[in-house]
Amino acid sequence: MTVSSAPGKVYLFGEHAVVYGEPAVPCAIERRATVAVEPRDDDHVRVEAEDLTLDGFTVEYSGDANDRPDVDVPTPLVDAAMGYIDAAVEQARDALGAPDAGFDVVVESDIPLGAGLGSSAAVVVAAIDAATRSLGRELDPREIAERAYRAEYEVQDGQASRADTFCSAMGGAVRVEGDDCRTLDAPNLPLVVGFDGGAGDTGALVAGVRALKERYDFAARTVGSIGDVVRAGERLLADADPTEEPDEVLLSELGRLMDFNHGLLEALGVSSRSLDNMVWAARMADAHGAKLTGAGGGGCIVALDPTEETETALRFTPGCEDAFRAELADEGVRAEDDRAARRREDEGES
């Protein structure tokens, strides 16, 4: 089988505001979705998903959106997972010029679904790469990012931004503002993630911010203020030496901006008690800054702390189910079958 993986992400700054053309700075992290693909002789797609924080399921269908078998998983969960995989398969078919191509697809992921860590983007990016490579075409990461964005845009009814998919395809830290997507030379920031075990409803949260923005001028200004925070953070990163460990001054300034960003998101109604509890636990543990990451409503927070204190504090925070250090993922989408072959060769030489 042809196997690809792609990383998840955290937002250093800018979620929600990026939907309205403001800039955002997400960072890829070493939590990955892995997709294995085998071409079929017919036009069917068979999907096996064991650990998308669902109960696990296998689905085979002919590609008709209404053609879904009965499976022992709640329909909304199947649809949530299958919608992104459907869209990724259609993008792969389009890139290959093979509208009737069929695939066996196996999805594995260590990124919690819907928790603000970019699980859907990682699955879509890895699936497009694996499906196209399985039939002999290797796409440039930027083309994968563009096609993955189209897939998410379709599934999310036009409310997706390019941030998640571009970050997952390219790796590292990136800067996205509308259609302008670029990589950033950022230092290896000491990121700590807290997870409350839940997931927000991205569509409802985005719609809620939109309604506030359309009704109140001050809500629109709040969205603009998030963009100002992002630009200030981007200037700090631009002045930093990416080959050096970030110093206390840089971490303190970035952390202060993260705190501002969380407050603005909280004002827009996208935080939650569990997220706020984790943010305050991180701050009380002397993290340089902390904020929710992703759509909000539940899921994850990200903090800046080079010590073990924040991770320890989060583990003892009511409502926090997991806490872990998130290493920056320098690589975006990558071919895991090639890596496995190189490992075998290295082991044979030794």
Q: Which of 4, 6, 2 is nearest to 40 (CA)?
A: 2
Q: Which of 336, 338, 334, 333 is nearest to 145 (CA)?
A: 333
Annotate 103-169 with DSSP letters as a single string.
EEEEEEESS-TTSSS-HHHHHHHHHHHHHHHHTT----HHHHHHHHHHHHHHHTTT---SHHHHHHH
Q: Where are the beta strands (DSSP E) in the chain?
A: 2-13, 25-39, 45-49, 57-61, 103-109, 173-177, 180-184, 191-195, 289-292, 300-304, 322-326, 334-335
- The 10 Å CB-count burial string (b at 16+, else e) for 177-188 is beeebeebebbb
Strands 191-195 and 300-304: antiparallel
Distance CA 168, CA 244 (A): 24
Output Rg (C-alpha) for the chain, integer angstroms: 20
Q: Helix or strand or coil: residue 182? A: strand
Strands 45-49 and 103-109: parallel
Q: Which of 51, 100, 140, 164 is catalytic?
A: 164
| Burial (0-12, 13-18, 19+ Cβ within 10 Å), 136 | exposed
Active site residue 164: yes
Would you please indicate which residues are annotated as catalytic (active-site) residues?
164
